[in-house]
Chains A and B, each alone.
Chain A
């Protein structure tokens, strides 16, 4: 392998920081939502406010730290949920084939034919359900790719000799599916899940940027960006801090996921 193994370390550092912020948000950024309307906007570098404040006098740095929570919790749930659907339905379709397979592939095709942002925006916006409904909508929208991926992986595994011999030995279908095929599919699934976390983060922040998902006043990077849009001239840090946070987090997850994916493909090829 020629690729330098620097990638995982370089990606892990910012991700660890984000996760620590998400877990410790209550302590690290206790006054994130504290408003000081009289103070209003102060530029970065003001004493006590490293990155200044927004229209409501909230501290930009504290909001950024506290926003890590909604940036981690929702996307991780989306990736887990859609992969769960993907593993169950994808294994089913890939192993049994036939009718179930056709129905599931058609369903996946239908969902894939439409742009995710548009559907998420329309459904989450009209249903008006807040953070967790948005998470649910995105789970459904993300699942077709996972179903397809697991289906494909299961189909390549099912054709291998070791499955043939398990079948000859008279092992049950469910046992073959979950005890023998699934463990070999997991590395690819894990890498995809990581990539899904990044896409989910970008999608969720996009929705809160448009004013959906998280409730008003709750710390969230996407919402912080849309609040900061009018402050470009007065305190640009209000846009730069959440913007850089989303970009760096998404990039780190994507690079790590890509690295994992390449490794798992290589390993699967060697076997």
Chain B
């Protein structure tokens, strides 16, 4: 199943946020979206996931999702969005409430998702008892439980410390490798984009337009190797040179607002 951003533009009142953004996320492909602060990255993700109506243009799907997919487009949120009154397993099970499943089927999906994210021993724990990294694992577990075709990840690591971020990034690499899922990965962190994405969509400052689409010239598996580091760093520098001046302008705009 492909996800297509088709000429998407969006305004909040008089404020134009996105301007004619078009790209396609192929089956199993990971596309990162980067750009200066306020360029509409998260807005674009909300539109792609059907949580926000664009002013013009539309998100579209082409092809069928995998037969076992219960929610083809599934979000992983920056702030985890966990129900604080529900345990880890209840949070994961929440995503399955709408599905026509027997209790045993639901239990099997929850168990599998918890196992894949290493949360089996924490299933009866409440979110407040978990660290930030563990909470995001719950968010990922909940997303995996519905067998998504495409994950929509909105800066999923930005609220975490650098060590946890590194560990979760490794988890993402593993999950994306064995899950056959595609993803749209919104981030301001160029290292994350270079490590995880097949292609990187670089947006201009507000209103966000596509400045360039950069293809990462190696497989995800190869990016963990030592000799890949220099290439990835060069790629990050290339993207940074594209957005640096606009990022500075965007920052000044925020300061003067």
Q: Do A and B bind each other?
A: no
